[in-house]
Structure 1
C-alpha cells in the first residue's frame, strides 16, 4: 500500500470499528419475554450485531451482513429429540474462534454442537483485544455465509464425497443440558452434526470402514509403515469440491480418515471432510477488505470466477503435499469432468433452496446458484491449475521401514520415480512391492524431494538427458545407500544429497551435489503438521 494512503486508511478503519465489540445478547428478537417451555421454534437472527451503517459497509464491506441480521425461524434445540435416549455432554472443543462441544448418544455415537457465530479474541495478542483491530477482525466473521454449511450436504452427496449433515437450532436461554458450559450456548444459534471420528462412529457415509481417525493419528501411521496408504484420487475429488464451494480453510485438522481393508493386509485411508464454516466466503467488497484480500492470499471471494488457486489452497498446502504426490494430471481432469456431470442444475438449485432459510434464499439464493453453475463450467481449468500448482514441487516420502527409491531420467520430458519395499523381499526378486510410481515432466516439475525417513534405504539415480527436475535426496536417520550414475546437460547439478556427513554408503556421480553436513537438520520431517 502507498504510505500516503495509510493514515486515512487507518482512520476510516478505526471509525468503522469504533464501537466496543459485542455479541447479540440473545438470538431472539423478542428475547426480553420468556420462551414458553413447549416452544418448538423461535424467530432468531444469527448475528444482528454485524449490521453496519454506510461508512462501515463502505470500509469493511457489505459481506453477508443482511443474512446474519435476517430474522429466520429455527427449531429450538431439544436434546431428547436428536437421538434415542437423548444426548449427554462429553467434552468442550473448538478452535481459536468457535465455541463447541462434543456430546454422545446411548450408542456412543458422537455429535458436535457448535456456535454459528465466531469469537476471534484468542487469535490476537492481548494488547490488541481492546483496540479497533479486534473489532475489525471480529467483524470479518460477517464475510462467511451463516447458513452456507447447510447447503453443502446434497452437493457433496452428488459429488460422491463423504459428508456430515449439520442442522441449525436455537438454544433456549435456560438450557442446562449442554454440560458445565451450558451458559456459553444459551440464547445462541448453533449447528448440530454427527462427528465422524473414532470407531464408534463408523456408519452412514463411512460404513464398511474398519477404522476412523483424525489426520494427527493417520499421518504418523502413514510414515511409520508401508501398510497404511492415503487415497490421493479420492482426495482430489474432495479438494475440487472444496474449491468449487470457495472453501479456503481446509488445513489438516479439517479432515477425518476412514480406513478400508485392502489385499495383503494393507489399509487405504479415504478422506472425510469436516467443518464447512468458510464456504461461499465473500470478503473483498469493501475498501479495507479489498486491500486486505490483496495482502492475505487465502481470503478469496466466492463468485462466478475462481480468483486464485494458490489462495484457495494456502491453508491446505501441508495436507495437499502429503496426500497428492502420486496423482497424475489425467486424474485431476477426469475428476473435474465427472463432477460437472454429477453437479447438475437440479442438484444445485435444490441444495441451495433446501439449505438457506426462505427469507435468506430470496436475495442470496439466485446469486449463489448462478455462481455455482458458472464455477462448474470452469472446473476443468481449475483442476489443471490445481495440478500444476501441486506438480511444481513434489514430496515423495517413504516410511520408517526400508525402501528403494529408483529415479530414471528416461528423456527430456520424463523422469520416472518408483519406490519399492525392501521389507521381506520374495526369494529371487531384487525388490518387493511397488509403493509409488510417477513420471515427471520438467516443464511442470522443478523439484522432486525424496525422503527416506528411518530405516536403511537405497536411492538409485540413472539416465542421461538434457532436461530433468532437481532430485533432492534426504536419506534420514540410519545408514543409506546413494548411487547416482545420471547426467543432465548444463552446469547446475540436478541431484542433491542431504544427510549427515558420515554413516552412509554415498557413491556420487558427475551429476551429484554433496549437501551433507555435520548435523542432523536434514533428518527433520513434519509428519502431522505440528512442526510448521
Structure 2
C-alpha cells in the first residue's frame, strides 16, 4: 500500500510539473501588443490638444501613471493585481515650467538604466536635479521566436509590481531615520517641450519625479555641506581598498539597510548608492546616500503564477512587501556584493540598537503623515493598508535586524588594502575568535571584531596588493574556519594555532 501511495504521489508531482508549463504556454499564446503603452498619460484629450497647441495656457493636468497596466479578473487571478489600481488612478499634477522651476532648469545630460528614462538637470543656483519617469520601460530580452508573443507583454507588465508613488512616502520615513534622501515632486512635461532641445522627442509628454541629484560637489548643501565630495560606489571602493586611511561609516550604512528592510526595498545593489566624503583628522569617512526608491513596497505574489515564480526555489528575489518579514534573505540577494564590503564590522548588538532607534523614531503619527504624501486618489485606494503594513514591519524590525545580521555573520569577508596590512587572528576560546587588521606602516588598527562560532561558519581574510602578514594563534579544540587569500605582494603566513 505504501509503495502504491509513493508511486501515486510521484505521478501527481510529474503531472503537476507537466501541466504548469502547459498552462503558462496557453496564457502566453498570441501576439505581443504593438501598442502596449498608452499614447499619453493625460486623461482629457481636449486638454491634451490644448497642451500641444497653446502650452502656456495650461499649468496642471490630470494624468494616469500607467493605464496600460489595468487588467481583468482572469489575468489578475493568474498574474496578480499588484499595484495596478494605483497605476490607473487619475491624479492632478503641475506642468513643469523649465524657466521658473528651481530658478530655471536646463538639461545637462541624459541618464537612466535598463528601465528608467531620465535626465540630469542643473538649476539657476547650480544645484543638480534628476528628472525620472514614473513609468518604467524594461528591455525585453527574449529569444527571437518568443519576442513577438504574449511573453513580451508579460515582461513589460512587470512594472505593475512597483508602486508608482513609493518615493513620496519614503522621503519622510528617511528623514525620521536620519538617512539622507531626495525630496521628489510629481511633474508633467508637456508635449514637444522646447526647453528639452534635441531631447524633446524622447522626454516630452511624460509623468516624472523631479528630485535633487546627489552625485557631485554641487549637491553639498544642507546636511551635506560639511562633506568634501560625493562619489559613486565604484570610486568609493577603489579609495577604500587603495588606502588604509579611507573607511566606510558602517553603522550609517547598517541603519540605511534597515530602512530598506522596513520599506521592503529589494533592489539595493551597489549602483543604488552615492557616498558623501568627510575628513576626520587624517582619515576619510564615506557615508551612504541611497537613491532610486522604485522598488519600495514591491508587490508580486498575489497571482497564481507570480506566486509560484516568487518561491524560494524559483525567483526568490521577487519578494513582496507584507506586514511581516517573510524572507529577509530575499531582500539581500541584489545587495550581496555591497553588504559584504560595507558591513563586516557591525555586531549583533549594534544591529539591535539601530533597530530599536528606528522603532522609536518612526512613530505611528509619522507613518500616517508619510503615507498621506500619496496623491489623494491613490491614498484612498491603499493608503490605510500601506500605513498598517509599515507599522507592523516597524514593530517587527528588531527581529528582521537579527535575521539580517545572522545572514551576514554566517560567512564574513575581511579585506585589506593595496598597502601593506597585518592580519591577526586569535582563537580566544572554542566559541570566540578575534580578528584584527593593522596598517604595517604605523600599527594603527583599521578593523577589529570578535566572532562567535555559534554565528559564524567562515571568515575569509583577503590581502590585496602590498606585502601582507597573516598571523593565526591560539590553542582551542574547535574554531571557526579561517580562509587566507594573499594578493599581489610577497605575503607571509605565521600559523601557531
Query: Could you say which residue in structure 2 is the equivalent of 1:512?
Result: none
Query: Could you say which residue in structure 1 is the equivalent of 2:37?
Result: 23
Query: Could you say which residue in structure 2 is the equivalent of 1:272?
Result: 289
User: Which of residues 477, 491, 495 in structure 2 aligns to 1:480?
Assistant: 491
User: Which of residues 50, 59, 70 in structure 2 aligns to 1:34?
Assistant: 50
Gap change, CA 1:122 and 1:202, over 3 Å in 2 = farther
Query: Could you say which residue in structure 2 is the equivalent of 1:353?
Result: 372
**Mapped contact 2:426–2:474 kept (Cα < 8 A):** yes
Gap change, CA 1:222 and 1:125, over 3 Å in 2 = farther
Task: Return 48-57 or 373-382, whichever deviates more.
Answer: 48-57
- Displacement, 1:206? 1.8
Q: Does 1:317 align with 2:336?
A: yes
**Mapped contact 1:282–1:300 kept (Cα < 8 A):** yes
**Mapped contact 2:140–2:152 kept (Cα < 8 A):** no
Q: Does 1:142 align with 2:160?
A: yes
**CA distance in 2 between partners of 1:140 and 1:71 (Å):** 21
Q: For 1:394, what is the secondary structure of its paired residue?
A: strand
- Displacement, 1:16? 9.3
Q: What does 1:57-72 correspond to in 2, within 5 Å?
A: 57-72=76-91
User: Which of residues 59, 68, 71 in structure 2 aligns to 1:49?
Assistant: 68
Query: Could you say which residue in structure 1 is the equivalent of 2:468?
Result: 457
Gap change, CA 1:199 and 1:378, over 3 Å in 2 = same
TM-score using structure 2 length: 0.93
RMSD of Structure 2 on Structure 1 (CA): 1.6
Gap change, CA 1:272 and 1:16, over 3 Å in 2 = farther
User: Which of residues 337, 347, 351 in structure 2 aligns to 1:332?
Assistant: 351
**CA distance in 2 between partners of 1:47 and 1:76 (Å):** 18
Query: Could you say which residue in structure 1 is the equivalent of 2:439?
Result: 421
**Mapped contact 1:13–1:288 kept (Cα < 8 A):** no
Provide Cα deviations, 1:188-240, integer angstroms capped at 9, x if missing partner.
Answer: 11111111011121113422111111101111111100121001100110000
**CA distance in 1 between partners of 2:470 and 2:171 (Å):** 45
- Displacement, 1:125? 5.7
Query: Could you say which residue in structure 2 is the equivalent of 1:289?
Result: 306
**CA distance in 1 between partners of 2:272 and 2:145 (Å):** 30
Provide Cα deviations, 1:135-193, integer angstroms capped at 9, x if missing partner.
Answer: 11110101111011111111100011000111111111121222422222222111111
**CA distance in 2 between partners of 1:211 and 1:247 (Å):** 26
- Displacement, 1:363? 1.9
**CA distance in 1 between partners of 2:144 and 2:214 (Å):** 35
Query: Could you say which residue in structure 2 is the equivalent of 1:518?
Result: none
**Mapped contact 1:75–1:169 kept (Cα < 8 A):** yes
**CA distance in 1 between partners of 2:424 and 2:305 (Å):** 52
**Mapped contact 2:352–2:398 kept (Cα < 8 A):** yes
Q: Does 1:397 align with 2:415?
A: yes
- Displacement, 1:351? 0.6
Q: Does 1:10 align with 2:29?
A: no
TM-score using structure 1 length: 0.87
**CA distance in 1 between partners of 2:143 and 2:489 (Å):** 42
Task: Return 7-16 or 407-416, whichever deviates more.
Answer: 7-16
**CA distance in 2 between partners of 1:452 and 1:327 (Å):** 20
Instruction: Count the aligned residue pairs.
Output: 476
Query: Could you say which residue in structure 2 is the equivalent of 1:492?
Result: none
Structure 1 residues not aligned, in runs of 5+: 426-431, 487-532
- Displacement, 1:300? 0.9
Q: For 2:264, what is the secondary structure of its paired residue?
A: coil
Q: Does 1:195 align with 2:195?
A: no
User: Which of residues 73, 80, 92 in structure 1 aligns to 2:99?
Assistant: 80
Q: For 1:338, what is the secondary structure of its paired residue?
A: helix
More helix by share: 2
**Mapped contact 1:77–1:170 kept (Cα < 8 A):** yes
**CA distance in 2 between partners of 1:64 and 1:17 (Å):** 25
Query: Could you say which residue in structure 2 is the equivalent of 1:429?
Result: none
**CA distance in 2 between partners of 1:17 and 1:229 (Å):** 53
**CA distance in 1 between partners of 2:26 and 2:227 (Å):** 54
**Mapped contact 1:403–1:452 kept (Cα < 8 A):** yes
Query: Could you say which residue in structure 1 is the equivalent of 2:4?
Result: none
Structure 2 residues not aligned, in runs of 5+: 1-12
Query: Could you say which residue in structure 1 is the equivalent of 2:326?
Result: 307
Q: Does 1:440 align with 2:451?
A: yes
